[in-house]
Homo-oligomer: A and B are copies of this chain.
Amino acid sequence: MFLQGNRPSGNAIVTVALTFLTSSQAILIVWSKRAGKYEYSVTTANFLVETLKCALSLAALARIWKSEGVTEDNRLSTTLDEVIVYPIPALLYLVKNLLQYYIFAYVDAPGYQILKNLNIISTGVLYSIILKKKLSDIQWAAFILLCAGCTTAQLNSRSDHVLQTSLPGWIMAIVMALLSGFAGVYTEAIIKKRPSRNINVQNFWLYISGMAFNAIAILIQDFDAVMNKGFFHGYSIITTLMILNHALSGIAVSMVMKYADNIVKVYSTSVAMLLTAVVSVFLFGFNLTLAFFLGATVVSVSVYLHSAGKLQR
């Protein structure tokens, strides 16, 4: 049902699904680190995620073909004109993931978590420029607050180090934010260009490109490790759960792009970050900081202002 949700009411369902999947994703990552199992190669896992998404899209399509028959909108075969743009987001993500290995020469891991919030601003700016959708002034204010609030919620005693980031570090962080924002906005543009086209077909072509570029990433980064230790070295039950979760979140992101937009995606992943922290209190005995409460307050007000800003236009 989830993969066939073509009605606008699917909007709310996919948003909630994305929020839920994103928070459980973060919790699985913490769990896998706690269990000391983090030795699998990330590129092979990413490849399997793309493969699983492809398989799920095909399975959904098979059901649709059975019940509705093959139509112009749900047939898999396509034109070069339609399919030529699909590899672009996958290429952008590949470049971003490769850069990620180099940015750690300039910032530490907590600093990188802080800088990743630049994604929020870059997504907003590119969304309004490329998709030519206007945000109201109140909504822009809400977007700045979302970025400030998420960053505040993640503050810890070592966060101030990020202010000492050198210029090349800042440039890389901004380039990565722009790549990630552009990939998201471009995916939305591709998917929305043909509104009547079945989302599972669009996903299939997106994920086939993802498989191809992740195969390249394996060759670049982990060829030796895979050759020596094998493709599935270090895999555990948690790894499998993470791959399943990533695949489902990936499909949820596509659904949000089709039936909502990148702004909804940014809000639901931000709210997911807060939910994760609260759930971690119960699961892992984490403590919530004053900074977290303040950040969560600012994010909540931002969510309110985003919708209030819409109504008053």
Contacts and interface: CB of A to CB of B under 8 A. Distances in A.
Interface of A: 114, 137-138, 141, 144-145, 148-149, 151-152, 155, 157, 159-160, 162-163, 289-291, 294-295, 297-298, 301, 304-305, 308, 312
Contact of A138 (B114, B148, B155, B308): B308
Nearest to A111: B290
5 contacts: A114-B290, A137-B308, A151-B294, A155-B290, A159-B291
Contacts of A160: 289-290
Contacts of A304: 141
Contacts of A162: 290
A85 to B, nearest CB: 36
Given A290-B114, A291-B155, A144 B305 contact: no
Contacts of A141: 301, 304-305, 308
Nearest to A162: B290
A144 B141 CA distance: 14
Nearest to A305: B141
Given A137-B308, A141-B301, A141-B305, 4 more contacts: A141-B308, A148-B294, A152-B291, A312-B312
